[in-house]
Structure 1
Amino acid sequence: MSTGTLTSVAQDYIKVVWGLQEWSDAPVTTKDLAERLGVGPSTVSETVRRLVSQGLLDHERYGAIHLTEQGRRHALDMVRRHRLIETFLVQHLGYTWDEVHDEAEVLEHAVSDLMVHRIDEALGHPTRDPHGDPIPSANLALTQPAALTLTVLPEGATGTVARISDDDPDVLRYFADLGFGLDAHVRVHARRDAIGVIDVLWAPTNNPNHLTELTLGLRAADAVWIETE
């Protein structure tokens, strides 16, 4: 069964299960899927049962939902489509990084395998999307950066920005206005946990000596993933 033969609902479910596990060790529940997909718990339960019968998901009774090996391969194929489309929209059609997610959510179901291949070739086989999320290769291999969020780093920690979560478009627009993005050099200057802010010093990749101080609330800091040095 190719990914293209799955229904769009099945494609969405397996991609969401994979996405919930990509940067978190927390178990995936029917409640998580209902919240992420915007549907009711009964709808999730029914769909999960159907995907289990198709060999795409495993579901522990009253417990966590997991992808089967077949489900994982289909999910990675969908992730590859989505992230290549996002990259194409930014690099060739002038979209900003806060605009591409919803467009890619629609287009990923419509593009053919050939178009995905041609997009990949036209982009020079990129390994990450505009937000720093890794793009699976044509054989669905994926290398995830060893990154941690700013919220867990101690004072004095240094590194480069490997990923900025696309969950909140407002946060993306805020960082874009600052010029803060992937590969910026960052040092945690001070943690002021009592008031929920983190002070960082950062510099762009092309000017590492040009330091700027930035104070981030936890909402913004939690979106920034750092590969430490």
Structure 2
Amino acid sequence: MPPTTSPAIEDYLKTVYAHTEWQPDPITPKALADKLGVAPSSVTEMVKKMAAQGLVAHVPYGPLRLTDAGRERALAVVRRHRLIETWLVAEMGYGWDEVHDEAEVLEHTVSDRLLEAIDVRLGRPARDPHGDAIPSASGDVASEPFVLLSEAPAAHVGRVIRISDRDPAVLRELERRGIRPGVEIEVTDVESERVTLQASGEAGALTRETAAAIWVTA
């Protein structure tokens, strides 16, 4: 992790990066404020600091984009967060619905030496428990074509790539249904309010809202 980056700046960079990880539109200051739960004035001041450090490119009232330096730092934070989540699930007995908040704290305090030891012990995993790619130490990020399950047509067959960790209740519901990254899903019917599918050998239906939290291979 590069020196002189404050935890607050790390959180901002990570949020800007995550916004465009699964869709192409850059984040606006208002959307950034909403995601972080802070006042727009706070975002304005922090964006000025990040721009002064060469971490973001920004014009007044326009969207934010990470510079190459900003992306490098963002990926370092994301790597820490996702490796810690993976470690907590694999070795510390946490459920995948319990790790996000713990990782939010630990990502700012774990040393590079300990992070490397965790990575080695886990066998250098490529993805975290939710299916999010873990950037390599050099900043490489694996990706593959995807579609949201809520937008997949009937008869689509795909492997679950990622499940959003935004709502722990959704994670618990999907775990009960045997739906996790790596599981193959077949969409059998699509209606206005729900998606019917086959997963883990069982038929079932998900609300559109829940299906929108699942990414599958295209």
> Is TM > 0.5 for Structure 1 vs Structure 2?
yes
What's 1:66 paired with? 65
1:25-104 equivalence runs, <5 A: 25-104=24-103
What's 1:179 paired with? 178
**Partners of 1:3 and 1:78 within 8 A in 2:** no
Q: Is residue 114 of structure 1 aligned with residue 117 of structure 2?
A: no
Deviation at 1:11, TM superposition (A): 0.6
Distance 1:147 1:132 in 2: 12
The amino acid across from 1:199 in the alignment is: T
**Partners of 1:3 and 1:11 within 8 A in 2:** no
What's 1:143 paired with? 142
What's 1:206 paired with? none
The amino acid across from 2:187 in the alignment is: V
Query: Which of 194, 199, 202 is the equivalent residue of 2:196?
Result: 199
Deviation at 1:4, TM superposition (A): 4.1
Distance 2:35 2:175 in 1: 25
What's 2:122 paired with? 123
**Partners of 2:178 and 2:199 within 8 A in 1:** no
Distance 2:90 2:24 in 1: 32
**Partners of 1:135 and 1:142 within 8 A in 2:** yes
Gaps spanning 5+ residues in structure 2: where?
none
Deviation string for 1:187-219 (max 9, x for gaps)?
A: 1100012xx11101112xxxxxxx211111111
Scaled by the length of structure 1, what TM-score is found?
Answer: 0.93
Scaled by the length of structure 2, what TM-score is found?
Answer: 0.97
Deviation string for 1:151-206 (max 9, x for gaps)?
A: 1111111011111111111100111122221111111100012xx11101112xxx
